[in-house]
Amino acid sequence: MKLAARRALIDSSGIRKVFDLAASLKDPINLSIGLPDFDMPEDLKDVAVEAIRAGKNRYTLTGGVPPLRKRIARYYEERGVPVEENMVASGTSGGLLLVFMALLDPGDEVLIPDPYFVMYKALTRFIGAKPVLVDTYPDFRLTRERLEAAVTERTKLLILNSPANPTGTVYSAEECRAAAEFAESRGIEVLSDEIYEEYVYDGEYVRPSTFLKRPIVVSGFSKSVAMTGWRIGWVAGPGELIRALTDIQQYTFVCAPSVAQETALRAFDLDMAPVRDRFRARRDLIADGLAAAGYNVMRPGGAFYIFPEAPGGDGEAFVHSAIENNLLVVPGNVFSERNTNFRISFAASEETLRRGVEVLSRLMQDRQAPAN
Ligand code: PMP
């Protein structure tokens, strides 16, 4: 079959190679998974069952059920995020696709801090726009200089993702302010992907969207309440944009899943602090373990990832040796133009993390042992 040229713009071979290798392992120490290791809260399951029984099984309004949209509006109002309207999407991913479709013309450039969440680059290319990667190694900080070095006349959009996948970096107020000033002085739109907002470990969350006059915010409940399979997310921002997203949704996704919308409404009332505390302890376990083993690593302030440098500097080669030792992690070049690092997810039990640290310490020692 002759597929569209567009098909070749999406390349998932990097991550697939890892999963193919992983399939051969019996009981791997799996630190590769990008989702919480707990199941969604029981209360929410009850809400979902009630919704099904109450017949909430039909199409909803394209932009989402009004009580949920009102709740989202209140959420941002309480946090000082200047958004005019919002719409409910099929996952944060669905929201991202709609924004890219509504905003980008072929040839438009999108500034994406590197390392990045894989979808940003893939979707930009898919739409016919051009990803321009802003190298942030080795500290993963976003500075005005780094942004200035990548901007051109064609730059249309800047993507911020704090806390970040795959580095766990949380931007400081100064970084957010610098990024906002940079973008606003040049008329560049800013999309803030805040999906990891519940996973911030050191002090209050510095929310990038609060620094912007006209933010486009995407978020959802996939990570915060472990509803990845329910496909629920949202976009909040300027009215003109949100109306465009809703029109595109009408002819694509139609609406976000109805039962998921009813359930999400109640998810706003949950207190996720106990989860955050547990994940903070896991962050400490893995970050301290890696540091003690001699890894060159930034301590993540959020999300549930850590992105150390691979001993020897070749991420792919290192991941191969990790897999030979029954440990599953992801090579950095899946998330980056560089192949120097690797991603560990610490959304795993403490026992699994300890076993992972043991293997990683051993791999580092092997590397340092004099060859004979
Ligand atoms: N943004 C980031 C940064 C992510 O890591 C993910 C999931 N891995 C998503 C968006 C997509 O999440 P969803 O399940 O809501 O589509």
Q: What is the pLDDT of residues 281-310, one digit of tens each?
A: 999 999 999 999 999 999 999 999 999 999
Distance CA(325)–CA(318), nearest Å, equals: 11
Residue 191 and residue 58 in contact, taking contact as beta carbons nearer than 8 Å: no
pLDDT in the model for residue 295: 98
Whether 91 lines ligand 1, by a CB cut-off of 6 Å, is yes
CB-CB neighbours of 349 under 10 Å: 10
Q: Counting beta carbons within 10 angstroms of the beta carbon of residue 144, is it exposed (0 to 12), middle (13 to 18) or buried (19 or more)?
A: middle
Residue 230 and residue 35 in contact, taking contact as beta carbons nearer than 8 Å: no
CB-CB neighbours of 372 under 10 Å: 3
pLDDT in the model for residue 18: 76
Indicate whether 47 belongs to any domain: no
The domain tally of the chain equals 2
Distance CA(306)–CA(287), nearest Å, equals: 8
Ordered alpha helix ranges (H), 223-270 = 239-250, 258-267
pLDDT confidence band for 152 (50 / 70 / 90): very high
Does 139 lie in the same domain as 257?
yes
Does 223 lie in the same domain as 109?
yes
Mutate which of 124, 160, 195, 336 for ligand 1 pocket (most atoms within 8 A of beta carbon) = 195
Whether 113 lines ligand 1, by a CB cut-off of 6 Å, is no
Is residue 372 pLDDT above 70, yes or no? no
Query: What confidence tens digit (pLDDT) does each residue in 88-106 have?
Result: 999 999 999 999 999 999 9
Last residue of a domain, one of 199, 232, 267: 267
Closest CA to ligand 1's atom 8: 34
Does 212 lie in the same domain as 165?
yes
Nearest atom, ligand 1, residue 90 CA: 16
Distance CA(191)–CA(110), nearest Å, equals: 10
Closest CA to ligand 1's atom 5: 165
Please, which residues have CB within 8 angstroms of residue 70's CB and are 6 or more apart in sequence?
A: none
CB-CB neighbours of 148 under 10 Å: 11
Mutate which of 12, 15, 33, 93 for ligand 1 pocket (most atoms within 8 A of beta carbon) = 93
Give the pTM. Answer: 0.96
Q: Which of 39, 105, 81 is nearest to 218 (CA)?
A: 81
Name the helix (H) or strand (E) containing 66.
Answer: helix 66-78
Residue-range definition of the domain harbouring residue 88: 56-267
CATH code of the domain in which 290 resides: 3.90.1150.10
